[in-house]
């Protein structure tokens, strides 16, 4: 990292690549430019990169903040041509090649990488913006953790609150986020909270998974879908398929069918739309406000601008499929954008992006995971759990030799310690 380079002192002698966002996409791009003859400026609204696939573990207290959030300055410590700033983008002027910030002087760029991620999409569900708990950011996860512990403490003080849904959680979405979250919650409830607060309370807590479609895990094969459903039901999770959430109030969730579930917590794992800043680009966007890119990941009419990650609408150059909003896609697309930029700067042609699908996997609970590998082979149970660990370890260590998160969790598997099970920060009562 070029230490202490103030925004105004970026050298004009070589091109500046401005990377907006320090998620998987932005980090991948910036890292691939390490040896390019450019100045890289990475700007994120936070001073940390968050390991989003593990956020549900932060929310359920199994991992601590530092296991899923890592200082961006630290990650770029050894990259000589990179500078980091924590600032909030307010506008992107594509024609003027300048980005404005709410809290920092504007920055000019020669090349731009947009990796601004997404925000949660509530699909018009009433009360969701105020009352639902999404799981997209570290602060989302901490907020959910505090809320859960506060609800249990309140029910401990006054058990009558249980009738009012104090301990019940409704998780929306039968995809990986929803299933991993409700699985982790079932472990937290049946082992830790049952011990902390007693079976009298824990026996009255209900966990419900609501999915609008006809089945869980639509991207997986039938044997996986059945396994996931069985494993969750074994752990006391009630699964409601073909149901939509109509409205969310502080103490209850109303489904479109008219069913009312008393619950003081609703976890939203159902959908994303691109960062609202994409709307200010003045271009035609794809579904969910995602930015369409050409096969080389550039914007139409702006070959100096790349978009990657959850904010981008990326079509695989080999298969023609639109790629999903996943960390692995963001990482590969980010690295590809960085590599293409390096090619352009040294006078070579950029290459089209092809996603290497290593498979999809999800952990339901300790020792119970599912995986569908590229080519269609499926795995379930303990072996899939180990594979899940290996893949997430690889993703984590893409940035550095940092195995802390997995080690913590693996160790937690033996010792059943849950150090994050405390109420710090935004305290609720």
Of 167-175, 198-206, 372-380, 386-394, which segment contacts a second copy by CB under 8 A? 198-206
Closest CA to 1 of 30, 44, 29: 30
Closest CA to 240 of 270, 274, 269, 213: 213
| Lookup: tokens for 68 | 């899923």
Q: Angle at the Cα of 70 (from 19 to 424), degrees rounded to 5?
A: 125
* Paired residues of 369 in beta bridges: 363, 381
Burial class (CB in 10 A: 0-12, 13-18, 19+), 103: exposed
Q: Which residues contact 364 (CB under 8 A, 6 or more apart)?
A: 179, 180, 183, 228, 231, 232, 370
Of 134-142, 271-279, 311-319, 337-345, which segment contacts a second copy by CB under 8 A? 134-142
C-alpha 29/C-alpha 332 separation (Å) is 9
How many CA atoms are closer than 13 Å to the CA of 299, on its beta-carbon side? 25
C-alpha 335/C-alpha 323 separation (Å) is 15
- The correct pick among 14, 15, 34, 47 for binding a second copy (CB under 8 A) is 47
Kindly report the length of the chain: 429
Residues within window 316-375 making contact with a second copy, judged by CB under 8 A: none
Q: Which residues contact 44 (CB under 8 A, 6 or more apart)?
A: 20, 21, 22, 23, 26, 72, 84, 86
SS3 115: coil
29 in Cβ contact with 122 (< 8 Å)? no
Distance of closest approach, residue 76 Cβ to a second copy, in angstroms: 10
- The correct pick among 17, 54, 59, 69 for binding a second copy (CB under 8 A) is 69
Looking at the Cβ atoms of 189 and 227, the one nearer to a second copy is: 189
What would you report as the CA-atom Rg of the chain, rounded to the nearest whole angstrom?
Answer: 22
289 in Cβ contact with 279 (< 8 Å)? yes
- The correct pick among 3, 13, 214, 375 for binding a second copy (CB under 8 A) is 3
Identify the DSSP state of 228.
Answer: H
SS3 209: strand
201 binds a second copy (CB under 8 A): yes
Of 19-27, 149-157, 281-289, 381-389, which segment contacts a second copy by CB under 8 A? 149-157
Written as one string, the DSSP assignment of 190-203 is IIIIHHHH-HHHHT
Looking at the Cβ atoms of 203 and 242, the one nearer to a second copy is: 203
37 binds a second copy (CB under 8 A): no
- The correct pick among 195, 257, 259, 319 for binding a second copy (CB under 8 A) is 195
48 binds a second copy (CB under 8 A): yes
- The correct pick among 132, 149, 170, 364 for binding a second copy (CB under 8 A) is 149
Of 151-159, 282-290, 343-351, 378-386, which segment contacts a second copy by CB under 8 A? 151-159
221 binds a second copy (CB under 8 A): no
5 binds a second copy (CB under 8 A): yes
104 binds a second copy (CB under 8 A): yes
| Lookup: tokens for 87 | 């600032």
- The correct pick among 108, 126, 302, 404 for binding a second copy (CB under 8 A) is 404
- The correct pick among 124, 258, 287, 429 for binding a second copy (CB under 8 A) is 429
Written as one string, the DSSP assignment of 132-192 is EEE-SSHHHHHHHHHHHHHHHHHHHH-GGGGGGTTT-EEEE-SSHHHHHHHHHHHHIIIII
106 binds a second copy (CB under 8 A): no
- The correct pick among 91, 256, 300, 424 for binding a second copy (CB under 8 A) is 424
- The correct pick among 96, 106, 129, 198 for binding a second copy (CB under 8 A) is 198
- The correct pick among 135, 138, 361, 368 for binding a second copy (CB under 8 A) is 138
Looking at the Cβ atoms of 160 and 301, the one nearer to a second copy is: 160
- The correct pick among 14, 15, 34, 46 for binding a second copy (CB under 8 A) is 46
C-alpha 52/C-alpha 70 separation (Å) is 11
Looking at the Cβ atoms of 71 and 254, the one nearer to a second copy is: 71
Looking at the Cβ atoms of 290 and 418, the one nearer to a second copy is: 418
Distance of closest approach, residue 56 Cβ to a second copy, in angstroms: 16
Residues within window 155-184 making contact with a second copy, judged by CB under 8 A: 156-159
Number of chain residues interacting with a second copy (CB under 8 A): 56
153 binds a second copy (CB under 8 A): yes
Q: Which residues bind a second copy (CB under 8 A)?
A: 1-7, 46-48, 64-66, 69-71, 73-74, 77, 85-87, 101, 103-105, 138-139, 142, 149, 153-154, 156-159, 194-202, 404, 419-427, 429
């Amino acid at each position: 990292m070029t230490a202490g380079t103030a925004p105004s002192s970026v050298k004009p002698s070589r091109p500046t690549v401005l990377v907006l966002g320090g998620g998987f996409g932005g980090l991948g791009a910036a890292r691939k430019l390490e040896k390019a003859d450019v100045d890289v400026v990475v700007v994120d609204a936070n001073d940390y990169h968050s390991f989003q696939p593990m956020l549900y573990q932060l929310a359920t207290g199994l991992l601590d903040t530092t296991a899923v959030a890592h200082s961006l300055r630290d990650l770029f410590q050894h990259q000589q041509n990179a500078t980091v700033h924590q600032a909030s983008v307010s506008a992107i002027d594509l024609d003027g090649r300048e980005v404005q910030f709410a809290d920092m002087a504007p920055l000019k760029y020669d090349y731009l990488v947009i990796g601004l991620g997404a925000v949660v999409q509530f699909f018009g569900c009433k009360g969701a913006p105020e009352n639902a708990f999404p799981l997209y950011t570290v602060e989302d996860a901490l907020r959910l953790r505090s809320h859960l512990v506060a609800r249990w403490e309140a029910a401990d003080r006054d058990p009558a609150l249980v009738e009012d849904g104090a301990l019940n959680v409704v998780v929306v979405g039968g995809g990986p986020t929803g299933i991993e979250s409700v699985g982790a919650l079932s472990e937290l409830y049946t082992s830790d909270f049952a011990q902390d607060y007693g079976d009298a309370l824990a026996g009255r807590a209900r966990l419900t998974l609501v999915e609008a479609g006809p089945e869980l895990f639509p991207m997986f094969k039938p044997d996986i879908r059945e396994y996931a459903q069985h494993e969750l039901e074994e752990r006391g999770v009630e699964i409601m398929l073909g149901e939509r959430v109509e409205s969310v109030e502080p103490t209850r969730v109303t489904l479109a069918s008219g069913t009312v579930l008393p619950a003081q917590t609703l976890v939203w794992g159902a959908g994303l739309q691109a960062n609202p800043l994409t709307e200010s680009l003045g271009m035609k966007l794809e579904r969910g406000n995602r930015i369409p890119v050409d096969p080389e990941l550039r914007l139409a009419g702006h070959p100096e601008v790349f978009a990657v990650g959850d904010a981008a609408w990326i079509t695989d150059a080999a298969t023609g499929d639109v790629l999903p909003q996943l960390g692995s896609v963001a990482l590969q697309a980010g690295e590809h954008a960085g590599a293409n930029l390096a090619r352009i700067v040294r006078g070579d042609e950029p290459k089209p992006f092809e996603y290497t699908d290593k498979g999809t996997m999800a952990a339901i609970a300790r020792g119970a995971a599912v995986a569908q590998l590229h080519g269609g082979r499926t795995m379930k149970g303990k072996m899939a759990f180990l594979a899940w660990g290996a893949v997430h370890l690889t993703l984590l260590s893409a940035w550095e030799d940092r195995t802390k998160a997995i080690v913590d969790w693996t160790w937690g598997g033996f010792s059943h310690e849950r150090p994050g099970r405390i109420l710090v920060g935004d305290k609720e009562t």
